[in-house]
Amino acid sequence: MAKRNKVKLTKKDITNYYNLKFKEFKRSLKHIIFDETLTLYILRPIAFIFVKLLYQTKITPNQISLASIVVGLGSGYFFSRGDRTSFIVAGILYFFCLVLDCVDGMIARLKKSGTAVGRIIDGFADYLVGISVYIGMGVGFSKGFVNIDFWPYSHWFLLSIAAVSHIFHAMIVDYYRVEFMSHGLGKVTSVWEEKKIFQKELDKIKHDPGKWLDKILISVYLGYSHLQIFRLKQTEQFIRKEYFHSNKLMILLWFWIGPTAHIFVLILAAILFRPIIFFVYTIGLANIYMLVLWIIQVKINQRLKQNQGDNN
């Protein structure tokens, strides 16, 4: 029998292989400022494994988004069961939901197949899953496996405060992220330009009878965009280099009360079956942290404006 010739890989071959994979991984990412620290360093590397498995298949990013919704709804269901084992399963499913939420966008960027509707579906998935998880926890707490009630049904009050805090923190983090992308990097699309992109997409498909779902989603998004609380103040101008150096640490600090940070704490609390961890973080620590950061952020921006005025 003929002997097989074994190919011996050199250290250079191995280095080149990993460099190639790392470059491919970087191409699958958005600008790193768009990602929270936990997303960038934990979720994205895990998601890239699934990207490599699914890349050559016919599975579309929108189908992956729908799968993440199903997994997220499953997490909400297991939270509603209320017992320790179910909470652990719910936490694991929620983590997997986060990973899938990364996979769809990464594949879309590698294949250059992203669509306006896909972005809306991705945002819709986050809201739907978040609602199901909070409602699921409320139902689960009412079954009495874990007692967090100070008075009858007080767990619904705690969940409501936690949800409002979660949403507000997400909004303020997104606001300062947009500020940094605009003033510090000059790499952001304005609110008005964003609306034009979606309006153009709607005009393109409005006579296509097979695109009824896309038309509904875009129309809802355009309506919702009018209700945005935070938007970039067009009147504010900063020297880009000074803004970047003054705020590059601040944006990283803001990320620790972003949506992913909240969900990671929730997952940890679920797996440990200690929901009080989530409430202490979301209602207590994160709000105190937000106020301290906001005071520092205001002072930094005031100093930048003052320095700019002195230079003028």
Are residues 154 and 216 part of one domain? no
What is the rounded CA–CA span in Å between residue 151 and residue 295? 35
Are residues 115 and 226 part of one domain? no
Domain boundary (171, 203, 231) is at 231
Four-point Cα dihedral 233, 234, 236, 239, nearest 10? 120
HSE at residue 271, side-chain half, CA atoms within 13 A, is 11
pLDDT for 203 equals 78
Buried b vs exposed e over 26-56: b needs ≥16 C-beta within 10 Å?
Answer: eebbeeebbbbebbbebbbeebbebbeebee
What is the rounded CA–CA span in Å between residue 211 and residue 274? 45
Q: Are 103 and 159 in contact (CB under 8 A)?
A: no
Task: Assign residue 95 the CATH number of its domain.
Answer: 1.20.120.1760
Domain boundary (198, 231, 264) is at 231
In-domain check, residue 278: yes
In-domain check, residue 58: yes
- Can you give the length of the chain in residues? 312
Are residues 198 and 135 part of one domain? no
Are residues 251 and 198 part of one domain? no
Are residues 220 and 146 part of one domain? no
Helix axes 286-311, 154-179, angle to 10 degrees: 20
Q: Are 36 and 255 in contact (CB under 8 A)?
A: yes
Are residues 224 and 159 part of one domain? no
In-domain check, residue 9: no
In-domain check, residue 1: no
Domain boundary (200, 231, 262) is at 231
Cα angle, residue 296 at apex, residues 292 and 300 outer, rounded to 5°: 170
In-domain check, residue 2: no
In-domain check, residue 5: no
Are residues 115 and 138 part of one domain? yes
pLDDT by residue for the chain (312 residues), tens only, comes to 455 555 566 766 667 655 666 677 667 666 667 788 899 899 999 999 999 898 888 888 888 989 999 999 999 999 999 999 999 999 999 999 999 999 988 888 888 765 656 666 666 788 899 999 999 999 999 998 887 766 777 899 999 999 999 999 998 998 888 888 888 887 755 445 566 666 777 777 777 776 666 667 667 666 655 544 444 444 467 788 898 999 999 999 999 999 999 999 999 999 999 999 999 999 999 999 999 999 999 999 899 888 776 665
Are residues 222 and 173 part of one domain? no
In-domain check, residue 4: no
- At 255 the three-state DSSP class reads helix
pLDDT for 247 equals 92
DSSP state of 242: H
Number of independent structural domains in the chain: 2
Are residues 200 and 72 part of one domain? no
The whole domain housing 212 covers 190-231
Are residues 236 and 184 part of one domain? yes
Are residues 219 and 270 part of one domain? no
Q: Are 304 and 238 in contact (CB under 8 A)?
A: yes
Are residues 75 and 212 part of one domain? no
